[in-house]
Every structure is written in structure tokens, then in C-alpha cells.
Amino acid sequence: MKTILVTGGAGFVGSHACKALARAGYRPVTFDNLERGHEWAVKWGPLERGDLREEIDLQKAFETWRPWAVMHFAAYSYVGESIVDPMKYYLNNVGGTAKLLSACASFGCTNFVFSSSCATYGIPARLPLKEEDAQSPVSPYGHTKLVVERMLKEAEASHRIRHVALRYFNAAGADPDGEIGEVHEPETHLIPLVLFTAMGHLPSIKIFGDDYPTPDGTCIRDYVHVSDLADAHLGALQWLEAGNPSSSFNLGNGHGASVTEVIRASENAAGLPIKAEICPRRSGDPPILVSNSDKANELLGWKPKFPRLDQQIGHAWKWLKRQSA
């Protein structure tokens, strides 16, 4: 059985990847400092509590588990927070990853799957976005992900570490079996906040801008189910196992939904009206982000099982209801 060190395995996407790995016959070992991840989400393998910024923690994890590959999710991931405190983002997302790659080099672990982001593209010059489009981030968070993509190329040249960088669009939904789901503290993402409003935890959902150049004036995003993202990580691992070269892939469904459409779909899932208020734009939000994921479809054999917004919101709603029961 191959051991995969999953940094951030106690987080939203990382925990779903651990489930997919275990189901496919790998041993996922979660490496997480539990600052933003959750111990309850580590269900499919051991937890190695540690911090990327501490070489000693990494050394212990590599010595104990001798992983065949690393799946690297651990990172700070709030665009807004990265604008307020960029160095925090560089120290963890870039500095921590440099230490992780050094550990990989020292222990001869030469297979690496990286959680990158559509935030590396910035404001798109054309849509849908393809992997070869210019990457010009508009937030420190996006820059940290792009710097790591660059570091991975250098790690390959110097240490023969092959990698796959997966550029997700907007992760959504929850485990269809209801075992794990999205819990961010604080929560800033649209779908959970809309559903919190439906549950009465918030008085209304704030719509950040209704004057964008989109059909209803609100921002459009390409929502992708977290279990489909987990499957793509498995596909990426198998791509490396088959001896293929390093590569990067967009992960989205190729169609966008506006903020208003997300609210409507959530009203349908909850069976209730959801109060919304129009607020000023949030800085750093591109009007439209939609992925062209043909490359992942063709080369990784990635076929999303839950491409529709109603499926994603339905699973997220089921998860939240279960948490509050």
C-alpha cells in the first residue's frame, strides 16, 4: 500500500481527498497543524500533527511515514485576509512549501500534487480560462500559489520532483455520504453563508456588487463539487504513477453561476425565501471566472459526477442540516 502525505488533510478539500485515496487503496497520512483544519475530519488514516514552517515536524513525518507522494493542501486561503496581511501568506504558503519541498528532496519523495487556484490567473483576458492563459494574480493569495507553481518547476530541475498543479475554481458541496463537509472559521464563502442565512444564523446575505458586466449584474463563478476535486487528485496521482511528466490542470465545470443564481438555487434546496441585500463590491473580485477543463477531462480522465449547482448546494445543505441537528 502506498503512503501519501496529505498536508492540510484536516481541511475541506484535503479531507475529501483522504477519503478518495483510502477508497482507492492508498494510505493517506494527514499532516496538519489543526489551526484551520478539524480533527474530526481525519477519518481515513493517521493524523501527524505538525506545521509546515517547522522543519522538525516535517522531518518527523517523513521519517515515520516515508511517503511515496505528497498531496499539498495546507495553506492560508482567504483572499481578503491575504490583502490585509500578505506576509502571513508568503511565510506559510511559500515559506512552508519551500520547507516541504526541501524535505521531499532530502527523503527522495519525488511525486507531488499541489492545490493551486484559479486565483493565479487574476482578471481573465478571455473565457473560459485555459491552462496556457496568462497568470497574473490580483491578490497576495493568488501570488503565493503562483510562486509555488514556479518553485515546483525549479524543484523538478534540481531534485527531479515531478508535480501536478491543480488549479481549482470554486470548491463547493460536501461529501455525498454526509461524512464530512465545509467548516471554515470564519466563513467567508458564498454558498455556506447563503445557507447559514436560510438556517436563520444570519439576517441576510450580502451581495457584493450588482453592477458587474454580467447578465444580472452579480459575479459569476464556476462551482465545482469537492468530491469531484478529490477524484481529480486521485487522477493526478495516477498520472504521476504512470510516469507522465509534470503538468497543470484547471478544475471546473465550464459553466458559471451568478451570486443571484446561487441564492435562487439555495432557496430551492432549503424550500424557503432567503433575504439578500445589495452591498458595495468586494475588492479583488473578478467579474467572471469560468474554467475550460478539457485537459483534465482528456488526460486525467476526470469526469465530474456532480457538475450541477443544485447537486452541490443540495449536498452542502444536507451537511449543514446534519451539523445543526
Q: How far is the CB of 26 from ligand UFG (least distance, A)?
A: 26
Name the 3-class secondary structure at 316.
helix
Beta-carbon contacts of residue 238 (< 8 Å; ≥ 6 apart): 300
**Is the Cβ of residue 156 or residue 210 nearer to ligand UFG in the bound state?**
210
Q: How far is the CB of 216 from ligand UFG (least distance, A)?
A: 12
CA distances from residue 20 to 13, 165, 237 in whole angstroms, order as listed: 11, 18, 11
Residues of the shown chain interacting with ligand UFG in the complex, contacts defined by CB under 6 A? 77, 79, 117-119, 141, 170, 188-190, 193, 205-208, 219, 221, 259, 282, 285, 289
Q: How far apart are CA 192 and CA 323, in angstroms?
A: 13
**Is the Cβ of residue 67 or residue 284 nearer to ligand UFG in the bound state?**
284
Q: How far apart are CA 167 and CA 152, in angstroms?
A: 14
**Is the Cβ of residue 164 or residue 191 nearer to ligand UFG in the bound state?**
191
**Is the Cβ of residue 103 or residue 265 nearer to ligand UFG in the bound state?**
265
Sign of CA dihedral 253, 152, 52, 233: positive
Sign of CA dihedral 188, 194, 196, 202: positive
- Which sequence positions are flagged as catalytic? 141
Q: How far apart are CA 7 and CA 54, in angstroms?
A: 13
Q: How far is the CB of 23 from ligand UFG (least distance, A)?
A: 26
Nearest 5°: CA angle at 269, between 264 and 275?
Answer: 45
User: Alpha helix (H) ranges present in 111-241?
Assistant: 140-159, 190-198, 226-241
If you ran DSSP here, which 8-state letter would residue 90 be given?
I
Q: How far is the CB of 46 from ligand UFG (least distance, A)?
A: 27
Q: How far is the CB of 121 from ligand UFG (least distance, A)?
A: 8
**Is the Cβ of residue 77 or residue 93 nearer to ligand UFG in the bound state?**
77
Q: Among all residues, whose Cβ is closest to ligand UFG?
A: 219
